[in-house]
């Protein structure tokens, strides 16, 4: 076959692939309507949305619908995912993490009081490889640490207020799916909800110190990446000083970024609405 003919065929194939990727991306439901329907039905908001619980008993009855949604996530190929817009990718991964976490809990519910009961002495539940996603089988840690937190991909520390580990100490499981066209608004609202939850983050007047969630200890490096001009954990807390303390003087102390910080114990009790 003449070289010109081979090049023509290769060019045609490359063009066809380039055109096909956007078409594939459009077949996925980026509204995540099925997941939103389940969350609106079974999430119980507490303290004006600062925390939440999940009706696992009722969710178990809707498990076929949950599995159907999970199947739509698993059907997305790596090539299709690569064709998504950045916000669509992030929403997809957050929703996948949260939905597969619920599915993991339901595999042993109600015979557990904490998601940690699903692990073992040698492997945590977050390292269990059970999630069929993007053409491979992943763990929850794989979704969070290898994709969502991968340096240079999103670099957005607010992801820690969006993913939910099925525990009381976690930021609230949102009552709706994350969606690309509202992702910025949703992430910011999740952040403000979490930072204003005094059971997780607060100014201790007696100690004259800031007490914050253990999340900031585990993932403090994520808050030093310069996201939205914030290059340190102290600077991040300073931005939310109005939510962490009640008096102007204490808020100014937090804004000064020269305060003692300690980390509160994490509550791994299942976020069950029973």
pLDDT in tens, 81-99: 999 999 999 999 999 999 9
Local confidence band at 3 (pLDDT 50, 70, 90 cut-offs):
very low
pTM comes to: 0.89
Q: Within 13 A of 76's CA, how many CA atoms are on the CB side?
A: 25
pLDDT tens for each residue of 39-84:
999 999 999 999 999 999 999 999 999 999 999 999 999 999 999 9
Task: Say what percent of the chain tops pLDDT 90.
Answer: 85
For residue 7, pLDDT over 90 is answered with no
Local confidence band at 35 (pLDDT 50, 70, 90 cut-offs):
very high
Average pLDDT value for residue range 228-253: 95
pLDDT tens for each residue of 113-134:
999 999 887 789 999 999 999 9
For residue 222, pLDDT over 50 is answered with yes
**Per-residue pLDDT at 121:** 72
User: Among 128-132, 205-209, 226-230, 232-236, whose mean pLDDT is lowest?
Assistant: 226-230
Q: Within 13 A of 82's CA, how many CA atoms are on the CB side?
A: 8
For residue 26, pLDDT over 80 is answered with no
pLDDT averaged over the chain?
A: 91
For residue 14, pLDDT over 90 is answered with no
pLDDT tens for each residue of 131-151:
999 999 999 999 999 999 999
For residue 204, pLDDT over 90 is answered with yes
**Per-residue pLDDT at 20:** 40
Total Cβ atoms within 10 A of residue 254: 22
For residue 100, pLDDT over 90 is answered with yes
């Amino acid at each position: 076959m003449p070289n010109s003919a081979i090049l023509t065929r290769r060019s045609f194939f490359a063009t066809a692939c380039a055109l096909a990727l956007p078409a594939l991306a459009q077949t996925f439901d980026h509204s995540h309507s099925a997941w939103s329907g389940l969350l609106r039905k079974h999430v119980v908001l507490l303290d004006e949305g600062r925390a939440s619980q999940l009706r696992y008993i009722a969710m178990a009855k809707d498990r076929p619908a949950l599995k159907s949604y999970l199947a739509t996530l698993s059907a997305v190929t790596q090539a299709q995912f690569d064709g998504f817009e950045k916000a669509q990718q992030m929403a997809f991964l957050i929703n996948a993490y949260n939905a597969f976490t619920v599915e993991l809990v339901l595999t042993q519910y109600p015979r557990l009081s904490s998601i940690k009961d699903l692990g073992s002495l040698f492997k945590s539940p977050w390292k269990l490889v059970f999630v069929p996603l993007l053409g491979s089988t992943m763990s929850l840690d794989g979704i969070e640490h290898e994709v969502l937190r991968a340096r240079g991909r999103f670099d957005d520390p607010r992801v820690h207020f969006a993913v939910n580990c099925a525990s009381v100490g976690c930021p609230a499981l949102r009552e709706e799916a994350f969606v690309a066209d509202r992702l910025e608004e949703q992430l910011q609202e999740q952040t403000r909800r979490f930072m204003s939850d005094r059971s997780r983050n607060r100014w201790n007047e007696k100690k004259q110190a800031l007490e914050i969630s253990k999340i900031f200890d585990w993932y403090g490096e994520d808050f030093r990446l310069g996201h939205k001009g914030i290059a340190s954990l102290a600077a991040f807390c300073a931005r939310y000083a109005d939510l962490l303390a009640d008096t102007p003087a204490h808020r100014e102390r937090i804004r000064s970024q020269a305060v003692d910080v300690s980390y509160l114990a994490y509550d791994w009790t299942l976020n069950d609405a029973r």
